[in-house]
Structure 1
């Protein structure tokens, strides 16, 4: 009788999406209010992709929830950034505001529109640093 072999499947990493929103040569940065180890640090707004959602749908939903604005999701910005020892991955997309909406800090302590010269004036979360490195070309 042939023996059965079981292969332990490696779960796919959880996908976290974030938005690079550029307006008038400035990029939107959001200051975390929680958890305590991230509070006060800056990030690109976004969140987890839920089951049944595409990455683009998740990012559009997160922008409504976190910023109170509707966006059109464009192309990727920067590389995949591994998180949580490989259990998650950050994927960042360029987004464009729809209509005349103005982002509000609904889930963050503060929002700032940063010029290329101000990018390093805030303490970024480590996961966002590779994306920040991509921004000078987009803000030029």
Structure 2
């Protein structure tokens, strides 16, 4: 099982979602950005590092949002999601095909990776985005 993080990054009543590249294991699936937790790294440190690497921005990690465990064919993922907001920088994706800022109501229009789907439902039901 690998532990990974996801940022529920909120700005102006919208949440950031990112589309995986066509050559990724979960090709063309949408996700909440983040990545694998490295040895000795906290989930919050991981999210800040991943957002610097994948989008060249600084974020503030806030409260824990939830977790999801999903068994893919190639591995089992334990996904930890945190609410976050942008502190500094303009998004410049380096690891994704594209990204979008979307409202809670728009999330249903996107084909999310299975491990991320519980967070779509929680965002829509919790009214975390106002």
TM range (shorter): 0.7 to 0.9
Report the Cα offset of residue 79 of structure 1.
Answer: 3.0
Matches within 5 A, 1:12-23: 13-23=1-11
What corresponds to 1:62 in structure 2?
50
User: 2:35 is paired with a residue of what secondary structure?
Assistant: strand
Matches within 5 A, 1:1-140: 13-84=1-72, 87-99=76-88, 101-136=89-124, 137-140=127-130
Deviates most, 46-55 or 34-43: 34-43
Give TM-score scaled by structure 1 length.
0.82
The unaligned stretches of length 5 or more in structure 1 are 1-12
Structure 1 CA distance for aligned equivalents of residues 103 and 76 of structure 2: 33
Contact map agreement 2:51 2:57 (CA 8 A) in 1: yes
Higher-Rg member (1/2): 1
Contact map agreement 1:104 1:111 (CA 8 A) in 2: no
- The number of equivalent residue pairs is 127
Structure 1 segments of 4+ aligned residues over 2 angstroms from their partners: 34-37, 78-88
Give TM-score scaled by structure 2 length.
0.88
